[in-house]
């Protein structure tokens, strides 16, 4: 299957690509929501331990996610040029690169995780519970990496449906497995948070296996008998994938930094931050689908030199993203406490999380602006800016601003306000740079 995105109605293509992708990512987020729910049923400490682990886990898979976006861009550009043999050659080398990457990430994760956890203040039972969760995830990282890479290849040919379908199934299976492993039964002893991570690894294996099956139905594995290792493809993956990888790593590091500054306010605030992020991810899920669709459409049209279609894609995706953001803002402003109560009955956690969600409500569209324009930059193979805006948004600005707030001994709400100000400024800078860069490449 190969969808030609260099012609046809852009609005319908955005909907056709983004809706399945959004549904898929929604159910992927439900993994985290389910895990958060069951951790909350164990204890507030378990919920807080899961939040600490989340930043480490996201940091690990961020590199895989970033490089997978490079896979979509490179293969999509080749398909836009109608060069299917090159597209298949890149795809096969990308899968080998994915295997190598998963081994490296596992080794680094196992070595560094205990130290990173201790920086966040985890000690004793708190530390052990955090490690019980993340270690299982680390050893199953190969399935996460391959799911990213294979789905990236399917995205390049316009297939967003396969990912959606398997994630719907896996999300429901994860609920069953979480309940089984946490509470035990049928020969399984209650496993606590380690059972939650085991359920996630099993469902991720199923996801990767199914997506590979769907990949065999495309032309991207054609010529596998003549496969040859191509270091130039590896280099292109690193070059093109480094900026988005750094962006995602910086996102994970940003979560780590925010958690670091939030931790002195207590485990309840850390737990509230973890729940709030899950809710925010659900609200933003349709815009993530837009991001995936924009990358696929822009990549093919860049290869075909159809720059007017790229500009129209940006305009249309921002319009749809604005509507989604408006609905999400209303939902967060009026339903913050209700959302929090789904995960916990701890009144302190509920109150802290509601404040976080109401601040985040006002910057949902800023996230849309950032996501869409960064996807466009990747699609036109100009991702270098991503590195610099990520360093500023996730590292430099939060450390400076939150350190100042800590020095002034301000209340925890100022942490959320500070992050909101940084995201808004980053959105404005990203928009201006991306518009200028598109004009440059199209002239």
What one-character-per-residue DSSP string does 165-203 give? HHHHHHHHHHHHHHHHHHH-BTTB---HHHHHHHHHHHH
Distance CA 118, CA 130 (A): 10
For the whole prediction, is pTM greater than 0.85?
Answer: no
Beta bridge partners of 185: 188
Residue 326 CB neighbours (<10 A): 12
Q: What crossing angle do the helices spanning 347-360 and 307-341 adopt, rounded to 10°?
A: 160
Intervals of the chain under pLDDT 50: 1
Closest CA to 297 of 311, 276, 279, 282: 311
Return the pLDDT at 120. 62
Please tell me whether residue 443 adopts helix, strand or coil conformation: coil
The whole-number pLDDT of residue 400 equals 92
DSSP string, 59-127: HHHHHHHHHHHHHHHHHHHHHHTT-HHHHHHHHHHHHHHHHHHHHHHHHHHHHHHHHHHHHTT--HHHH
Q: What does the pLDDT read at residue 404? A: 92
Tokens read off for 20: 């399945």
DSSP 346: -
Cα–Cα distance for residue pair 292/278, rounded to 1 Å: 20
Query: Distance between alpha carbon 243 and the CA centroid of its chain, in Å?
Result: 15
pLDDT at 179: 79
Nearest residue to 115 (alpha-carbon basis) of 100, 130, 102, 103? 130
Q: CB–CB of 346/271 below 8 Å?
A: yes
> pLDDT digits over 311-324, tens only?
888 888 888 888 88
Of residues 157, 70, 9, 21, the one with CA closest to residue 375: 70
3 state SS of 160: coil
């Amino acid at each position: 299957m190969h969808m030609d995105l260099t012609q046809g109605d852009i609005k319908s293509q955005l909907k056709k690509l983004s809706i399945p992708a959004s549904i898929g990512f929604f159910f992927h987020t439900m993994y985290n929501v389910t895990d958060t729910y069951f951790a909350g049923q164990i204890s507030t400490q378990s919920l807080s331990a899961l939040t600490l682990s989340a930043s480490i886990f996201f940091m690990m898979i961020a590199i895989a996610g970033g490089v997978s976006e490079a896979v979509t861009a490179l293969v999509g550009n080749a398909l836009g040029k109608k060069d299917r043999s090159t597209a298949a050659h890149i795809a096969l080398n990308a899968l080998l690169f994915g295997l190598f990457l998963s081994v490296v990430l596992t080794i680094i994760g196992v070595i560094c995780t205990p130290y990173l956890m201790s920086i966040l203040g985890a000690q004793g039972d708190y530390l052990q519970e955090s490690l019980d969760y993340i270690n299982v995830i680390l050893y199953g990282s190969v399935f996460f990496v391959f799911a990213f890479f294979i789905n990236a290849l399917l995205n390049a040919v316009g297939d967003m449906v396969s990912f959606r379908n398997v994630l719907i199934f896996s999300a429901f299976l994860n609920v069953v497995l979480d309940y089984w492993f946490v509470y035990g039964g049928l020969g399984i002893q209650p496993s606590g948070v380690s059972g939650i991570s085991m359920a996630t690894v099993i469902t991720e294996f199923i996801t990767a296996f199914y997506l590979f099956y769907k990949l065999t139905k495309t032309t991207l594995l054609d010529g596998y008998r003549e496969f040859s290792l191509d270091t130039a493809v590896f280099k292109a993956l690193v070059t093109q994938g480094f900026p988005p990888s750094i962006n995602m790593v910086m996102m994970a590091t940003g979560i780590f930094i925010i958690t670091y500054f939030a931790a002195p306010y207590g485990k309840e605030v850390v737990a509230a931050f973890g729940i709030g992020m899950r809710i925010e991810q659900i609200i933003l899920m349709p815009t993530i689908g837009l991001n995936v669709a924009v990358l696929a459409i822009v990549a093919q049209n860049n290869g075909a030199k159809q720059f007017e279609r790229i500009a129209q894609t940006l305009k249309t995706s921002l319009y749809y993203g604005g509507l989604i953001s408006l609905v999400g803002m209303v939902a967060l402003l009026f339903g913050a406490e209700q959302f929090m109560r789904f995960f916990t009955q701890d009144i302190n956690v509920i109150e802290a999380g509601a404040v976080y969600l109401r601040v985040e409500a006002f910057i949902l569209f800023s996230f849309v602006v950032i996501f869409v324009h960064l996807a466009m930059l990747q699609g036109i193979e100009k991702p270098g800016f991503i590195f610099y805006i990520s360093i500023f948004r996730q590292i430099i600005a939060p450390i400076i601003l939150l350190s100042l707030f800590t020095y002034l001994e301000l209340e925890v709400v100022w942490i959320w306000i500070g992050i909101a100000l940084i995201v808004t400024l980053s959105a404005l800078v990203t928009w201006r740079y991306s518009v200028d860069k598109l004009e440059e490449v199209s002239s």
